[in-house]
Structure 1
Amino acid sequence: MTLTLGFTGAAAALGIGMLVGLERERHKGQGERRAFAGLRTYAITALLGYVTQHVGGALLLGLIALCLAVLVSTAYWKAQDKDPGITSEVALFTVLVLGALCAVAPELAAAIGVITAGLLSYREKLHVFARSQLTDGEMRDGLLLLIVALVVLPLTPDRFIGPYDAVNPRTICTLTVLLMVIGAVGHVAVRALGARYGYAVGAIASGFASSTVTIATLGPMAVKEPVSVRTFAAAAIFSNLATVTQVGLILGTVAPALLAQMVWPLLAGFITTAVYGACLMLRLPTTPAGQAMQVGGAFDLKLALMMVLTLTGITFVSSVMLYHFGQAGVMLTATLSGLADAHAATASIAALATSGQLTLQAASIPVLLAVSCNSLSKCVVAWVSGGRRFAAYVIAGQSLLTGAMWLGLLVR
């Protein structure tokens, strides 16, 4: 068994060295300007790290790394006027350490080796992306997302606090991160696909923040361009895909058991919305140039914070209503709050189900009530903002979505 593991680690170390070395060999150059290390050097260095870890452990590995540093420094000093970069030098040290890691965790070392080779291979594309394509706002949003997800979220307590035990800080923070991540993914999709599918993709991306606001934005566009009313109506309908998806993600995050109860209603609503939106997009006229849906930063932090405050308030009110008026109070709260936003109402109901204050069977109906009332408010917004033709398409789609979800609850 030990011999088998030994051969496995040695093979992994050799594979890592050859993979990284092969990539470096292709960029090594020729003649006097060629780099100091290539395929053989990287492969031997990886094997050296593996053997060193087996023979002498961390102490001997440190001595070998020190000797390698002297050799690399000498080579770098000689070629400093030709190639001031240190990517190859750092990659050589990485291969040495990964070779040593193969003696302990060959799977992890192999995964890191593949990632290292990928970073080296996509050097030019990464440089172009960082310098030309990535904006300052997107960089700021990305750093903010990483801070919230990797620093704030792990430090947030995971327990129900406050009166009536209605609020869980970890759940609220998790939903905030989820909203930010989904917004960022939608933003990347819009940037990648371009303006041809800008309305549909942009509406889905914006729908993760607020489908109602998305429809209110598309309505005036439909008034200005009556020829393209079906284009805007299709985009408005597609924003409901984000609503249904986010309801499912919220249930899966807060109350996975409740999600199992709601699979068929959510699936029926998603399929019905997708089919109806696709039918509207058949034989659409060409969208006027220069009117691609504008998407700002990767996500809207203010909107995310507003949703957090809304979620906290609705959760507290739902808990109070449940405590004093029973399940009828929860249904009334879900109905009223759903007129403004289905996501916060869904999260509050899921939180009540998770804390044991509401049974899974009783929680399904309030969720659908929230979604149904939210569909009603979207119909009103479509009529006010986009006129009769735009509203006719949207009302039909919202009616099909709501009916399909209730039918899915009945037949599950």
Structure 2
Amino acid sequence: MSGLWLNFTVALALGLLIGVERERSKGEGPTRGAAGLRTFAIAAVLGAVAVHVGGPWALITVLAGVAALTAVAYARDRGDDPGLTTEVALLVTPLIGALAMSDTILAGVLGVATAVVLAAKRPVHGFVKGSLTDAEVKDGLIFAIATVVVWPQLPDRPMGPYGALNPHALWLFVILVLAIAACGHILTRMIGPRFGLPLAGFASGFISSTATIGSMGGLAARHPETLGAAVAGASLSTTATFAQLALLLAVASRPTLDAMALPLLAGGAVALGYGVVFTVRAVTSQNVELPAGGRAFSVNAALILTSTLALMMVVSAWLRSQFGDTGTVLGAAIGGLIDTHSAALSVAALAASGGLAPADTVLPVLAAMTTNAFAKTAMAVGTGERAFVARVAPGIALSLAAAWLAALPALNLG
């Protein structure tokens, strides 16, 4: 089937799909809804015929007629539901049918999405009214503004001192931090802190293990009953750091990854084993619950983390301008205080450009990992209780020690 037959068939099928859902919802007897299966199917075909025969003006005429009939039906409706869902859907259906005459794929997506939205009334209403808190709704609006309103308006070009700052890229980092925190909040709400916090910690580690440890430490301080799960999440965030570092090096410089493979494998394995131990303890513990609701993320924390990242980028750019390639390596080591990934990528980029031998990348990358380990420990000390620090710090130290021991042959120190 091709050409007009396909377009009209898609229009009819989408009208039937929406009509099937409305037929099941319109009820029975004198109070039943005015539009059902046949009405929606005919409305979709009517929109398709109008745009095919008379173009946009014919479609506008059809929409005006459908709107008039819909208004009359709504005025005569004797049901108890004052909603306009069916009436609005009836106005959308001719438009979807008309769209099918020029773009069947887009029309299909919109038609299916419309049917899904109509069918999801009960779970969506139950979630919005029964599960979401006012604070979570506010956070959702903040995230929407940050993503849809602010981010597209920011310039996407190097700016600031030494051209080190890209506002568009930096705000994307803010968005990612907020998104990861929100995902962790959702997981915790859905499956509880015993399972949610370890999963959220591992996922957040791909954005910032340092920030994750701080977040988990603060949670453990506010809710001591979540200590085990918070430690598991913090430890697994370190595992994510090793995993993401390997992936980034694979993209930036494969020779650098080959040189760092054994240290990353050893450190990641120790971090994973340490995190699994506390995850098992958290999962098998009892009575670990959090109060309902709460904030999905902290905007201030995301802004502070991004500001620190921006400062690191400026410092690294200054060192590079002052000391050349040596400054890049030094900047990477200093940058490890904030983010191991950025520091290691700068070294890998230098190796990829031929400015540094792959074997010589091991020491600066390990130096960045070491300074980052100190930053993680300091974050745990500053935001967590002693019990949290006593459990998280050994995992950080052990994974770092394993990475250094595995790198000894490459460093010619063993």
Q: TM-score, normalised by structure 2?
A: 0.80
Task: Give the secondary structure class of the aligned counterpart of 1:196.
Answer: helix
Q: Deviations over 1:128-156 (max 9, x none)?
A: 11112112222222212222222222221
| Structure 1 gap segments, 5+ residues each | none
Aligned-partner SS, 1:139: helix
**1:163 maps to amino acid:** P
Partner of 2:193: 195
Match of 2:285 in 1: 287
Other-structure match for 1:211 = 212
Relative to structure 1, the CA distance from residue 218 to residue 28 in structure 2 (aligned partners, 3 Å threshold; closer, same or farther) is closer
**Could you say which residue in structure 2 is the equivalent of 1:88?**
86
1:72 aligns with 2:56: no
Deviates more, 1:188-197 or 1:31-40: 188-197
CA drift of 1:63 comes to: 0.7
For the Cα contact (< 8 Å) 2:14–2:112, is it kept in 1? yes
2:22 match: secondary structure: helix
Q: 1:235 aligns with which of 207, 230, 233?
A: 233
Q: Say whether the 8 Å CA contact 2:337–2:368 is kept in structure 1.
A: yes
Deviation (angstroms), 1:87: 0.6
Shift of 1:258: 2.3
Aligned equivalent of 1:336: 334
Q: 2:174 aligns with which of 142, 155, 176?
A: 176
**Residue among 98, 101, 124 paired with 2:99:** 101
After superposition, the Cα gap between the structure-2 partners of 1:89 and 1:15, relative to the gap in structure 1 and judged at 3 Å, is same
Tell which deviates more after alignment, 148-157 or 231-240: 231-240
Equivalent in the alignment of 1:373: 371
Hey, what's the Cα distance between the residues in 2 that align with 1:263 and 1:80?
Answer: 71
How far the C-alpha of 1:291 sits from its partner, in A, is 5.0
CA distance in 1: counterparts of 2:303 and 2:355, whole angstroms: 26
Q: Tell me how far apart the structure 2 counterparts of residues 403 and 260 of structure 1 sit (CA, whole Å).
A: 22
Q: Is the 8 A contact 2:187 2:196 kept in 1?
A: no
Matched, 1:396 2:392: no
Shift of 1:187: 2.0
**1:21-50: CA deviation from partner (whole Å, max 9, x where unpaired):** 111111111111111111111111111111
Flag structure 2 segments of 5+ consecutive residues without an equivalent: none
Task: Report how far residue 397 of structure 1 moved.
Answer: 4.0
The percent identity for this pair of structures is 33
Partner Cα separation in structure 2 for residue 31 and residue 157 of structure 1:
59
Q: 1:49 to 1:79 in 2, by over 3 A?
A: same
The one-character-per-residue Cα deviations of 1:297-321 (angstroms, maximum 9, x if unpaired) are 2221111111222122111111110
1:109-124 pair list within 5 angstroms:
109-124=107-122
Does the CA-based 8 Å contact 1:23-1:117 persist in structure 2?
yes
1:282 Cα deviation (Å)? Answer: 4.4
Going from structure 1 to structure 2, the CA distance change for 1:143 and 1:281 (only over 3 Å counts) comes to: closer
Amino acid at match of 2:173: L
Q: Name the CA distance, whole Å, in 2 between partners of 1:406 and 1:88.
A: 70
How far apart, CA to CA, are the structure 2 residues paired with 1:25 and 1:85? 16
Deviation at 1:70, TM superposition (A): 1.6
Q: The residue matched to 2:2 in structure 1 has which SS?
A: helix
Q: 1:128 to 1:339 in 2, by over 3 A?
A: same
The CA distance in 1 between the partners of 2:185 and 2:64, in whole Å, is 46
Distance 1:6 1:405, change over 3 A: farther
Q: Give the secondary-structure state (helix, strand or coil) at the position aligned to 2:193.
A: coil
Shift in alpha-carbon separation, 1:67–1:307, aligned structure 2, 3 A: same
Residues 90, 381 of structure 1: alpha-carbon distance in 2 compared, 3 angstrom cutoff = closer
- The counterpart of 1:278, out of the listed 263, 269, 276, is 276
Amino acid at match of 1:306: I
Partner in structure 2 of residue 5 of structure 1:
3
Q: Tell me, in whole angstroms, the C-alpha distance in 2 between the residues paired with 1:321 and 1:140.
A: 41
* Amino acid in structure 2 at the alignment position of 1:333: G
> SS state of the match for residue 194, structure 2?
coil
In the aligned structure 2, how far is the partner of 1:116 from the partner of 1:245? Answer: 40
* Residue matched to 2:143: 145
Q: Which shows bigger deviation, 154-163 or 366-375?
A: 366-375
User: Which range moves more in the overlay, 206-215 or 306-315?
Assistant: 206-215
Q: Does 1:258 align with 2:252?
A: yes
1:18-97 to 2 correspondences below 5 Å: 18-80=16-78, 82-97=80-95
- In structure 2, give the amino acid aligned to 1:316: V
* Structure 1: distance between partners of 2:404 and 2:219: 21
Distance 1:293 1:323, change over 3 A: farther
Deviation, structure 1 residue 400: 4.3
- For residue 190 of structure 1, report the CA deviation from its aligned partner: 1.8
Distance 1:323 1:126, change over 3 A: same
Does the Cα contact within 8 Å between 1:234 and 1:280 map onto a contact in 2?
yes
Q: TM-score, normalised by structure 1?
A: 0.80
